Amino acid sequence: MTAFLDLATKRLSQYHLGSKAEHSIEEIAQYLAEVANQAPSAMNIQASRLVVLQGEDHKKFWELIKDTQKNVLSEDMFDWFMGVYNGAVSGLGTVLFFEDRAVYENFPNPNPTAREKIKMRNSAIIQYGTWLALTDLGYGASMQHNNLGFEEGYDRPVRELFDLPDTWEMTAQMPFGSIETPDESKEKISLETQLRLL
């Protein structure tokens, strides 16, 4: 119990990232793949997909996000976003999270609302596992949600940039890297508020 709790406690949003690494990007990607492969999913549908970006692809992605956000955010919000951007682009890489909509077409529950909820829950499990895995390797990361919206076509430029399947719906991004300036942990509610033993 202690080992898992220690890892969960170390997992914090880290925004000041660098590109120093004690592992090759191939080793990191392999570890993330193994962790994702063990993640549970509703009805064992296994529709979550990950893309690990490095080098120029990592930078191209964040340039695309910056160009998009500049056109939709207010000046104040864009200034805030640039803090996230600067930390992300200076990192080692980015994990992109997707759910393959083609797989959900065969999901036993035909209710589209139910499928949407299950899709997001499946993705959240993968995201948390990935974050813990990066923490386990000694890297900082943060969860970002830019250019989301499959129906609206907001994530289409990302699929086109990296030649990804048309049925992959982007659900989040996770820039990661060495922790250059540690961010502080956020205040937590009490254990008694969060859990009741009856």
Average pLDDT over residues 52-65: 97
- Helix or strand or coil: residue 97? strand
CB 30 within 8 A of CB 124: no
Residue found by looking up tokens 């979550």 in the block: 48
Sign of CA dihedral 168, 11, 58, 89: positive
- pLDDT category at 129 given cuts 50, 70, 90 is very high
- pLDDT category at 111 given cuts 50, 70, 90 is confident
CB 42 within 8 A of CB 121: yes
Q: How far apart are alpha carbons 20 and 137 in whole angstroms?
A: 12
- Tell me the pTM: 0.94
Q: How far apart are alpha carbons 169 and 128 in whole angstroms?
A: 18
Average pLDDT over residues 94-117: 87
CB-based burial label for 169 (10 Å; 0-12, 13-18, 19+): buried
- Helix or strand or coil: residue 196? coil
For the chain, domains (ranges, CATH) are: 17-181 (3.40.109.10)
- For the chain, the average pLDDT equals 94
pLDDT in tens, 139-198: 999 999 999 999 899 999 999 999 999 999 999 999 999 999 988 888 999 999 999 999
- pLDDT category at 113 given cuts 50, 70, 90 is confident
Token representation of residue 26: 């191939």
Residue found by looking up tokens 């086109």 in the block: 160
Q: How far apart are alpha carbons 123 and 145 in whole angstroms?
A: 13
